[in-house]
Chains A and B, each alone.
Chain A
Amino acid sequence: MIDFFINDFINHPGIILILGGFAILFMPGNMRRITTFALPLVALLGFLAYPDELILTVNLFSYTLDPIRIDGLSWIFTLIFIIASFITAIYSLHKSDRFEQSMIAIYAGSAIGAVLAGDLLTLFIFWEISALSSAIIVWLGDGRHAQQAAMRYLLIHITSGLLLMLGSILHYQQTNSILFDAMSIDSLSGLLIFLAFGIKCAFPLLHNWLQDAYPQASPVGTVALSAFTTKLAVYCLARGYAGTESLIWIGALMTAFPIFYAVIENDLRKVLSYSLNNQLGFMVVGVGVGTELALNGTAAHAFAHILYKALLFMSMGAVLHRIGTCKATELGGLYKSMPWTTIFCLIGAMSISAFPLMSGFISKGIILYAVAEEGHWVTWLVLLFASAGVLHHSGIKVPFFSFFAHDQGLTCKEAPLNMLLAMGLTAAMCILLGVFPHVFYQWLPYSMDFHPYTFDHTITQLQLIFFSLLAFTVLFRNGWYPPEIKSTNLDFDWIYRKPLDSFTAALNNLFIFLLAIVQKFKQSSLNVLSACAYQAHGPKSPIARGASVGNMVIWVAVLLSACLIFYYF
């Protein structure tokens, strides 16, 4: 039995990363660097040693668990998670932050463990480890704001975990199975689990933890955060809720509304967080459509998106590392000091904007095609609108305001070598995916016949991109483009950071007031009681009024005399 366990779990990439992450905590400087770098590679070797299809079943008490399930869908998500952890590891090598490097490895490992989980119990355990480790990564960011954001982040993710647990228990009661397969939102258990996934996937109105926490983490922390949590949620939705129609609408909404916020946001890492939210929308729509082509699109887009989003966050992280800020109002003209970072950022920007020959073009195209195949024309128009929008804020705004725009006279050194290597590697992958899509398509869960480089697709996409660029140019040259302003823009988190906060503060005050009244009442009733007791039993009370010994003697004498008189007669 033990042999059986060890043989199957020794290759588990998630467990390798989690155990390695704990070991990193206790290692001295250089050994820690080497381990941080080597861990994802060991995890990759372990993963590749597994067969392409595998279900490991374990009976624990009366439960049947599948702690490892590898199939087309979990394979590609595990692969990209290992790649993302490798990139992040390289990106983190310039600094020697014991806790952060350790937590990132544990976080990546738990996300992989959750993807490989074939049952809800295993999923829940890894779900919670990932919530806790990622909250610590946010906490390790810069100062008080990061810590406050980490607490809000943790509260929201614990809520997600509780919903998952509650849903799983109900699911077990109804079906007598805790295996994680297709579910329905028509049952309460299905709905609860759907909501748990929805929180992690940053559904509209449940999304603010993302824009709140990600920009607060360190440059390295944000790169790690951007890769795992939300894509894990996308995977879980694809696994459990493929073809759920409401996801089409939810996803379409997700692609559209963050764009407006991204345009007026000043903190460029927050702009990227809004754009992350918008990209998730495309994947969610793919899950909602639910055909094999659409699910392939979701998997491909998640893969491509993790790479270009990490690349964009890495380039902004490098700017933050060198300049100390990521605010558009304080940046500009950095291309002179950081030419390589500029080039890598532009490659990330072109990828997210879906330029032909870049990764976004060959992944987003599948989703749009699948949506059109099913005849969802309104959704298709929304996605096209969002594609133009994403070009606008991530494709133009982020590189333009940091590296070009107005020369602020900033000078600094180019990013550290390890950061450049991580960015270079990621940029190369973004281009390779775009240039050789058919090699990449073979890794997708289902076989499909999709050709991204048709004449129509290429030309129409170029038209969309260049006319969006034209719109930006016209607006900017005429002074109609909104200037960057140092500001906070109210989003849904306002509800729980202001009115709900005031409400709980008021509730707290009410409790304090009521408690004071109760205390007062208790005190005054005690006072009355003790006054009564004092009156009855105090030194001057009738009861306490003691008869003197003399009186007693007289009365005894009187009684005895009376007895004597009685006997005499």
Chain B
Amino acid sequence: MIYSKKFINFVVYTLYALCAVLLLFDVFHHKHGHFNFEEWFGFYAFYGFIACIAIVLSAIQMRKILMRDEDYYD
């Protein structure tokens, strides 16, 4: 059931909608943080998004240097 295209699309679009709603809070609500940059619009959202993309893209590059066969140490 969960592998049907319909269900996957439903999950993905729900996620998009939730993200949009969460970002909307930043429009109407003024955050109070310890640091100035915390109060920027969508700071947490963009920081999380960019961090994850950066982690995955750099991990792909890491593989080029660090990856060996499974039985490398045998």
Contact = CB atoms under 8 A, between A and B. Distances in A.
A392 B59 CA distance: 12
Contacts of B48: 388, 391, 463-468, 471
A260 B59 contact: yes
Interface string A357-377: 000000000000000110101
Most central of B29, B50, B65, B73 by chain A CB within 10 Å: B73
B35 A489 contact: no
A466 B26 CA distance: 14
Given A463-B45, A463-B48, A389 B67 contact: no
A466 to B, nearest CB: 5
A320 interface: no
A388 B16 contact: no
A499 B6 CA distance: 53
Contacts of B49: 467-468, 470-471
Given A389-B51, A463-B23, A404 B73 contact: no
A487 B18 contact: no
Interface string B31-66: 111110010001111111111110111111011011
A407 interface: yes
Interface string A449-473: 0000001100111111111111111
Most chain B CB within a 10 A radius of its CB, from A459, A460, A487: A460
Contacts of A489: 62-63, 66-68
Majority secondary structure, A binding face = helix
B59 A466 contact: no
Nearest to B62: A260
B60 A482 contact: yes
Chain B interface helix/strand/loop/mixed: helix
A485 interface: yes
Interface residues of B, number: 47
Contact of A490 (B33, B52, B68): B68
B31 A488 contact: no
A384 B23 CA distance: 18
Interface residues of A, number: 51
Interface in A264-304: 264
A380 B22 contact: no
A465 B49 CA distance: 9
A485 B15 contact: no
A464 B45 contact: yes
A481 interface: yes
A470 B63 contact: no
Contact of A259 (B2, B55, B73): B55
A545 interface: no
A401 B5 CA distance: 18
Contacts of B73: 488, 497
Contact of A384 (B16, B47, B63): B47
Contacts of B34: 372-373, 375, 380
Given A260-B58, A377-B35, A463-B42, A471 B53 contact: yes
B72 interface: yes
Interface of B: 2-3, 12, 15-16, 18-19, 22-23, 25-26, 29, 31-35, 38, 42-53, 55-60, 62-63, 65-73
20 contacts: A377-B35, A380-B34, A385-B47, A389-B51, A389-B55, A456-B31, A459-B22, A459-B25, A460-B43, A462-B22, A463-B22, A463-B45, A466-B15, A467-B46, A471-B48, A471-B49, A473-B15, A482-B60, A488-B70, A488-B72
Interface of A: 259-261, 263-264, 333, 335, 372-373, 375, 377, 380, 384-385, 388-389, 391-392, 404, 407, 455-456, 459-475, 477, 480-482, 485-491, 497
Given A389-B51, A464-B48, A471-B53, 5 more contacts: A456-B32, A459-B31, A461-B44, A463-B44, A464-B47
